[in-house]
Amino acid sequence: MLRLDNKVALVTGCGSLGEGWGNGQAIAVLLARQGAQVFGTDLNEAAGQRTADIIRQEGGSVDVVVSDSTDPAQVEAAVAACLARHGRIDILINNVGRSEPGGPVELTEQAWEDQLSVNVTSAFLACKHVLPIMEKQGGGSVVSISSIAGLRYAGKPQVGYAAAKAALMQFTRTTAVMYAPKGIRLNCVVPGLVFTPLVKRLADKYAGGDFDGFVAHRHRQVPMGHMGDAWDVAHTALFLAADESKYITAQEIVVDGGITAATR
């Protein structure tokens, strides 16, 4: 089940900043465990290399390049490097994303632009260069990591992030319909509150650095009583990437312990 032998997977933001598993890191490691040849990108060389080390220690196949997912020339070069290395790209994971607090009054114009750039333009740029490759091959699977913030207000004032993640989902649905006849599927994983190293940085941004209080508050917000972890996101991404989900396209799978159902 869910084997990815002989498949090449391009994973953006494959590193993790801080202690513990990040989503992109867990996805890259899980895809490699399932047999994929992973080609990761990351802005931060050391973060990307840590993921590469884990995969190599487990006997998996991995290359990591430094690349900024918001820079058109760097994205084009990273896709070309993956193609040059493996001759094909079967799976694209658009993982890069980041939130910035603030409403329309508080967010600077630059911060608004940055939110759109890192959360949705990054996926647009990767698709621009990967979809023609998948089309030539006759198929492929694109999985983008969105957020429940793109579906509803989930307790944090972050209009740029919410708007960008909503845009990412509609970008995915529309592109999926266009590419369905070509055998290329596009779907989103939609995580809720996930206990990743990002939570430490979020506590600094949203709770004045009160990490324990912020963590307890996030656990309490979830009907299941606790946040999810990066593996919950990674297993869902694996399912959408693998052939077992071959009839699923233009969809979102929400991974949130019940939050969105409880706040309809």
Ligand X SMILES: NC(=O)c1ccc[n+]([C@@H]2O[C@H](COP(=O)([O-])OP(=O)(O)OC[C@H]3O[C@@H](n4cnc5c(N)ncnc54)[C@H](O)[C@@H]3O)[C@@H](O)[C@H]2O)c1
Q: Which range binds ligand X by CB under 6 A, 107-115, 127-135, 151-159, 192-200? A: 192-200
Give least dist CB 133 to ligand X, A.
Answer: 20
Read off φ and ψ for residue 19, nearest 5 degrees: -75, 140
| Nearest to ligand X of 4, 43 (CB atom) | 43
Check if the beta carbon of residue 130 is closer than 8 Å to that of residue 140. yes
| Nearest to ligand X of 36, 198 (CB atom) | 198
Give least dist CB 183 to ligand X, A.
Answer: 26
Half-sphere exposure of 47 (CA within 13 A, CB side): 24
Tokens 């998996």 identify what position? 60
Give the x/- contact pattern for ligand X in 152-181, rule: CB under 6 A.
------------------------------
| Nearest to ligand X of 41, 249 (CB atom) | 41
* 263 in contact with ligand X (CB under 6 A): no
Q: CA distances (Å), 207 to each of 155, 156, 185, 214, in order?
A: 12, 11, 39, 6
Q: Considering only residues 116, 197, 242, 252, which one is a binding residue for ligand X as defined by CB under 6 A? A: 197
Give the C-alpha separation, 186 to 145, whole Å: 11
Radius of gyration of the chain (CA): 17
* 221 in contact with ligand X (CB under 6 A): no
What residues numbered 89-108 form the site for ligand X, per CB under 6 A? 95-97
Q: Which residues have a catalytic role annotated?
A: 161
* 40 in contact with ligand X (CB under 6 A): no
Which residues of the shown chain bind ligand X in the complex (CB under 6 A)? 12-13, 15-17, 22-24, 41-44, 47, 68-70, 95-97, 118, 145, 147, 191, 193-194, 196-198
